[in-house]
Structure 1
């Protein structure tokens, strides 16, 4: 999904200055400060595993305590971490299994270095971790080589097998597809991204969090979500198999490969318009969706209609202004007054958070475009729908999103980085 000349209506100047129009904030780069002059991961200090577990526990007692997917579960963290490496076999992060009564129900990815991000994502999905372990074991056995899991920030996991001096890479999210050539082509760029993650700000955040006690708080807790989230309901629940409901639309439901590849923007638009029509205000917005939300047939027809309006190009919908105007045109054709909400504040961590909260506070889902790109991974160069923003007293921040019909939790700092430092400018948009 890359249209470099006109992506998101921005001008790209070596990622130093980006100008955004319409639904995006104006971004002014403030530069990046690093923890040291030597940015190789081989020379960074690693966190103790006890500190990693403390970070997990902080999130178990914070974000996950009352979250939709985990609020009724008594979770513990397993000490059986899966180490995640960079491309040069330097330890970078861990996948920490989350257990309910001894049974694995998902994982949280936690940073292993003192000046990286504290966390990356939470995936509550049965066997998600065991499947990666099985694929790693299988690939290593078939090649008679040594295997490990490589982490490509923000959210990509690869299986690396070294055999007779050669490294081979496979993507478990894509059926263990061989991506060796892609890694080799982008290796130097990826290594720069690893270095860029290392910041004094990250080191301070981790240090402050580990120093916190239950009686101290650095910020006020925030938990801002759509009505369905607050009521522990499902966001746009479509029944795609018997008694199995999605969390929003899945672009894989489209009937052609082209639409499946390019359809994340129309799917996000289908989520937004359905929610406005069925949940936010059926009187005001009801004509935006006239079918049965639970019906996959009806919802796919709605996705197809939004696809015809947005009409993604070869690399998908990469223009935020086009996305906004196409959704407005769709609404106008149905006799509904709907406008994208713009904001001219600078593109900073807190300003974007405030914009997201403003949308959620009026019960309006927030579309977001992540333009960090190296492969075809689901989160990269991809439209998603934000349904929740959370910040705990230790300044850990999370967003919950609808993507590929699933609910995933992403560290907000990681997602902001992916919007601000992708090939072109990403952004956020809600409607009223």
Structure 2
């Protein structure tokens, strides 16, 4: 299962194709080192904006226009000096403040995953949340505070999940994400089982009700 238009988050003006946006497009060194959260937020917002026929005054037809969006999103989805944007709650607070600023009722759906394994949602619950987002045609921001045994991931980092598949022969779920221009796939169950700090998932919906998963 996959969002309907993953190509909307791809940049094809260069070779090879860039999968997703890059926090290196920010202006300052501080933004470049801590900008993964607002970068992920910008990807979610621009995808939804295109789906919703330009509800936000944003353009995404070039790296230059996307960079302008990144700067605006930073004003709302703002990382802290010490820990950056280290929770789904902070991410959602900023996104919803941005939406309200532009007169929109867009809301976040979040699934926070504790550092304590016994408090975390199960794999089936995580899959249910992700499926709900993807079938609603929403890319999903993924906060990975610690990568566990998943070598392809980067700890303390936000990326954007665009598809989820089940590999029956190996009994595992594979999540495909865009991260700073690269395409990566990882074992969702392995991450959930081995991460030492947890993280979470967020997607944005245009529905009026505000429910937390």
Report the counterpart of residue 396 of structure 1 in structure 2: 172
For 1:254 and 1:240, locate their aligned partners in 2 and report how far apart those are by CA, in whole Å.
Answer: 19
Q: How far apart in 1 are the matches of 2:191 and 2:178?
A: 14
Q: Distance in 2 between matches of 1:409 and 1:329?
A: 31
Q: What are the superposed Cα offsets for residues 186-241 of structure 1, whole Å, 9 maximum, x if unpaired?
A: xxxxxxxxxxxxxxxxxxxxxxxxxxxxxxxxxxxxxx110024xxxx24123564
The structure with more radius of gyration: 1
Give the SS at the match of 1:309. coil
**Partner SS state of residue 306, structure 1:** helix
SS at match of 1:288: coil
Stretches of structure 2 lacking an aligned partner (at least 5 in a row)? 113-118, 206-213
Alignment of 1:21-60 (within 5 A): none
Could you tell me which residue of structure 2 aligns to residue 370 of structure 1?
144
Residues 7-156 of structure 1 mapped to structure 2, 5 A cutoff = none
Structure 1 contact 368–428 (Cα < 8 Å) conserved: yes
Counterpart for residue 190 of structure 2: 414
TM-score by length of 2: 0.82
Distance 2:76 2:102 in 1: 13
Is 1:383 aligned to 2:158, yes or no?
yes
Match for residue 80 of structure 2 among 309, 313, 322: 313
Write the deviation string for residues 241-287 of structure 1: whole angstroms up to 9, x where unpaired.
4x654211111111222111100000000000000011x322xxx23
Change (3 A) 1:273 1:370: same
Distance 1:370 1:346 in 2: 14
Unaligned runs of at least 5 residues, structure 1: 1-223
Q: Does 1:237 align with 2:7?
A: no
C-alpha displacement of 1:392: 2.4
Q: Distance in 2 between matches of 1:253 and 1:239?
A: 16
The answer to whether the 8 A contact 2:141-2:202 is kept is: yes
Find the aligned partners of 2:156 and 2:141 in 1 and give their Cα distance: 13
Contact between 1:236 and 1:247, CA under 8 Å: does it hold in 2?
yes
1:405 and 2:177 are equivalent in the alignment: no
Q: Matches of 2:181 and 2:57 in 1, distance apart?
A: 18
Aligned length in residues: 194
Matched, 1:329 2:105: no
Q: CA contact under 8 A between 2:2 and 2:134: conserved in structure 1?
A: yes
- Structure 1 residue 365 displacement after superposition: 0.8
| Cα displacement (A) at 1:411 | 1.4
What's the CA shift string for 1:80-101, capped at 9, x where partnerless?
A: xxxxxxxxxxxxxxxxxxxxxx
1:228 aligns with 2:5: yes
Residue 239 of structure 1 contacts residue 294 of structure 1 at CA under 8 Å; is this kept in 2? no
Distance in 2 separating the partners of 1:310 and 1:245: 27
The structural deviation recorded for 1:416 is 2.1
Query: Which structure exhibits the higher relative contact order, with contacts defined as CA atoms closer than 8 Å and separated by 6 or more residues?
Result: 2
Structure-1 separation of matches of 2:89 and 2:124: 23
Could you list the per-position Cα deviations for residues 28-48 of structure 1 after superposition, in whole angstroms to 9, with x for gaps in the alignment? xxxxxxxxxxxxxxxxxxxxx
Is the contact between residue 145 and residue 156 of structure 2 (CA under 8 Å) also seen in structure 1? yes
CA deviation digits over 1:108-167, x for unaligned, max 9? xxxxxxxxxxxxxxxxxxxxxxxxxxxxxxxxxxxxxxxxxxxxxxxxxxxxxxxxxxxx
